[in-house]
Amino acid sequence: MAAMGVYPYITATIIVQLLNPLIPALEELSKEGEQGRVKLNRYQMMLTLPLAFLQGYGQTVALEAATGQSLFREPGFDLFNNFLPTFTILMSMTAGTMILIWMGDLINQYGIGNGISIIIFAGIVTGVPGLVWQGIQIGQTGGTETFFGLLLFIAIGLLTIIGIVLIQEGQRRIPVQYAKRVRGNRVYGGQATHIPLKVNMAGMIPLIFAQSIIIFPGVVASWFYRVPAPGEEESIGNMIAGFFYTTFNPTGAGGGIVYMVLLFLLVVGFTYFYTMVLFSQQNLPESLQKMAALSRAFALGKRPKNISRALLPE
């Protein structure tokens, strides 16, 4: 039921965030505080439904193609020729995704935070015990070389986790110096602070979005591609579908070289673009102006009302 996880919602969130600088109405909503975030989240939910439906259809078709077995008897999984059973499965998968999103919202409401991330982490961790037990069995039957290979694999995994944490939490602090102001015989201002810029501001979002984009043509092509029988003349449409199916596939033409090159280029491009979007949403010039105004107010012995802690100078 929850075979797709929360990934349709993540894709919808990324799409809305990328559209913020392109659509003025969305950009205005992002600046309206909590009320604007509620409206944006509503739009993300509305976009999640068709994305979940589409991903569920592609995932089920890919599963049938991989196993060589149909979920139903004739005519099989087909939205046009076998509508009701196919629609029931797709609605069940979409409902499973929406239930997980609802659970993530509950985790956020009750103070834990990062509900969607916790659900993704739980889905990954559930497979760890099986992998550990499988590794132990391989180590017992494979001899000394296999055992040391497993230890090396664990060491590389730990070093990878440490490197990811260091890069994810790394910051470059841009120094900011406020100008001094002289009033009478007294000097005000001259405070020094910094702007913390994360090294990896975009996180894993560009990788997830790039994979979704590059897999999409292959998934659509798999709906129409059919392996021709021996001696059968292949149609032009089937040849085109086969080209997209093999090109946008990690195990496709050339050992997946085209797929890996395109994935690399998309990740670099989306990282640059998504970082630019996040940086523009922070409104650093406006924030610096507000902090400078607050510094002047405090220097004059005044404390403006309703000051956010985030705007107070260090």
pLDDT, tens only, 220-271: 777 777 777 777 777 788 788 888 877 777 776 656 788 888 889 988 888 8
What is the number of H-type helices and E-type strands within the chain?
10, 4
109/32 same-domain check: yes
Residue in the structure block whose two tokens are 């043509």: 217
Q: Which distant-in-sequence residues (6+ apart) come within 8 Å of 252 by Cβ?
A: 218, 245, 246, 258, 259
Name the residue with higher pLDDT: 44 or 227: 44
Among residues 126, 151, 177, which one ends one of the domains? Answer: 126
- Is the pLDDT score of 91 beyond 80? yes
Q: Which residues pair with 186 in a beta bridge?
A: 183
Among residues 115, 143, 169, which one ends one of the domains? Answer: 169
Cα separation, 284 vs 247, whole angstroms:
42
Q: Which residues pair with 192 in a beta bridge?
A: 177
Q: Contact 138/150 with Cβ under 8 angstroms?
A: yes
Give whole-number Cα distances, 173 to 43, 276, 301, in Å.
35, 18, 29
78/25 same-domain check: yes
Which tokens sit at 219?
Answer: 């998934």
Domain with 143, as residue range(s), is 128-169
- Is the pLDDT score of 308 beyond 50? no
- Is 155 part of any domain? yes
Q: Contact 217/248 with Cβ under 8 angstroms?
A: yes
- Is the pLDDT score of 112 beyond 80? no
**52 alpha-carbon distance from chain centroid:** 15
Which pLDDT does position 184 carry in this prediction?
A: 66
4/114 same-domain check: yes
Cα separation, 276 vs 282, whole angstroms:
10
Q: Which distant-in-sequence residues (6+ apart) come within 8 Å of 273 by Cβ?
A: 18
1/122 same-domain check: yes
14/54 same-domain check: yes
Give whole-number Cα distances, 312 to 30, 189, 296, 300, in Å.
22, 13, 12, 15
Which of 215, 210, 294 minimizes the C-alpha distance to 18?
210
- Is 1 part of any domain? yes
- Is 284 part of any domain? no
- Is 99 part of any domain? yes
Q: Contact 180/189 with Cβ under 8 angstroms?
A: yes
Which pLDDT does position 159 carry in this prediction?
A: 93
66/81 same-domain check: yes
- Structural element, H or E, at residue 239: helix 236-247
Give whole-number Cα distances, 124 to 46, 67, 114, 266, in Å.
27, 23, 15, 25
- Is 293 part of any domain? no
The length of the chain, given as a count of residues? 314
Cα separation, 182 vs 293, whole angstroms:
15
Average pLDDT over residues 77-105: 82
- Is 266 part of any domain? no
**7 alpha-carbon distance from chain centroid:** 8
40/153 same-domain check: no
Long-range CB contacts (within 8 A, 24+) of 225-230: none
100/136 same-domain check: no
13/118 same-domain check: yes
88/157 same-domain check: no
The per-residue pLDDT for range 138-188, each reduced to its tens digit, is 766 766 667 777 788 888 989 998 988 888 888 888 777 766 666 666 766
Q: Is 313 helix (H, G, I), strand (E, B) or coil?
A: coil
Among residues 74, 108, 126, which one ends one of the domains? Answer: 126
102/156 same-domain check: no
- Is 69 part of any domain? yes
Q: Which residues pair with 77 in a beta bridge?
A: none
Which tokens sit at 232?
Answer: 């059968």
Residue in the structure block whose two tokens are 């604007």: 36
Name the residue with higher pLDDT: 290 or 61: 61
118/5 same-domain check: yes
Name the residue with higher pLDDT: 247 or 311: 247
Q: How many domains does the chain have?
A: 2
- Is 276 part of any domain? no
